[in-house]
Amino acid sequence: MNTDLALDQLFGPRIAYPDVDAMDRFSRLIGLDDHKDRLSKIIGLLVNPSGLQSWADRHHRGAETLMKAVLCRPPLVVLEGDVGSGKTELAETIGDAVARREKIDITLFPLSLSTRGQGRVGEMTQLLSAAFDYVTTEARKLRTVSGKSGGAIILLVDEADAIAQSRECAQMHHEDRAGVNAFIRGIDRIGNSRLPAAVIMCTNRLGALDPAIRRRAADILSFDRPDEGQRHEVLAVPLGQLGFSDSQVAAVAAATGTLNGRSYGFTFSDLTQRLLPTIVLDAYPDRPVDPVRAIEIARTMIPTPPFVGGLS
């Protein structure tokens, strides 16, 4: 699996970090500061463990047992939560933050859903095994004798439940079960070889993931819809640039919450990809944006419904 055609069958477009576009996208993820900080630390330790040893030498010399426990965690992080909550955007941009912090080059390999194959016997297993073969081969090239990584790889698995669905499901096809086994073997290969690589999985259905995969996660980060304070934070700068007062921004933020008997508010993507463009396009090209009209738009726009389905 070393031709460009084969790589395109296994992975989506690769991203090399540091990357200016990824840095900009990462900075625009407002309201997710805790997740951004925690994930960057987790991935940093997984792909460049020498950083933790340097920290321990400065502050906790002699804590070898504790350091080993931290460093022996599986190279997997799961991001789970509702649609539009920022999981995929964070997963696609975190590599830039880690590359800059650790001062190494990182490449993102997004696993293609085509690795599910066409249902032919053995195909899904073969494609997943080939994807992990390529990642582990490339990661081995990045190991150095000094212990500091010469670079790192992040394997991104979006819509992870489509590939790693629980084998406990009675309706699961044999080919899918074999694919999950191949996926688990791939994660274990990276972890057992202590390679400078990490796997990030994104899912709307944490309960649908196979229990063996969930047990292997170094961490599971949950993403919720933004609360009113987070919505205000997302809207404050763009609406402030249009001349909105803080009270008018607050009114728009309130209108995007649980309103008119609705039990859920706007997602992050509802705010940035739907509401803000709609407010602008409503005024363009004949008049300036009117805060009163913007509040009305926010009140009448229907947010993306929560994802329903899957195992619990």
User: What is the Cα–Cα distance from 250 to 145, expressed in whole angstroms?
Assistant: 55
Tokens read off for 84 = 């539009």
End-to-end CA distance of the chain: 37
Please, are residues 78 and 209 in contact by the beta-carbon 8 Å criterion? yes
Q: What confidence score (pLDDT) does residue 14 get? A: 95
Q: What is the pLDDT of residues 144-188, one digit of tens each?
A: 877 678 899 999 999 888 888 877 665 666 667 888 899 999 999
Q: What confidence score (pLDDT) does residue 3 get? A: 43
* % pLDDT > 90, the chain: 69
User: What is the Cα–Cα distance from 156 to 109, expressed in whole angstroms?
Assistant: 6
Q: What confidence score (pLDDT) does residue 7 get? A: 82
Q: What is the H or E stretch that residue 303 is in?
A: none
Q: What is the H or E stretch that residue 110 is in?
A: strand 106-110
Tokens read off for 61 = 């010399």
pLDDT value at 121 more than 70: no
pLDDT band at 260 (very low <50, low <70, confident <90, very high): confident
Say how many C-beta atoms besides its own lie within 10 A of residue 246's C-beta: 11
Q: Helices in 28-122 by DSSP H: which ranges?
A: 33-47, 50-59, 64-71, 87-102
pLDDT value at 82 more than 80: yes
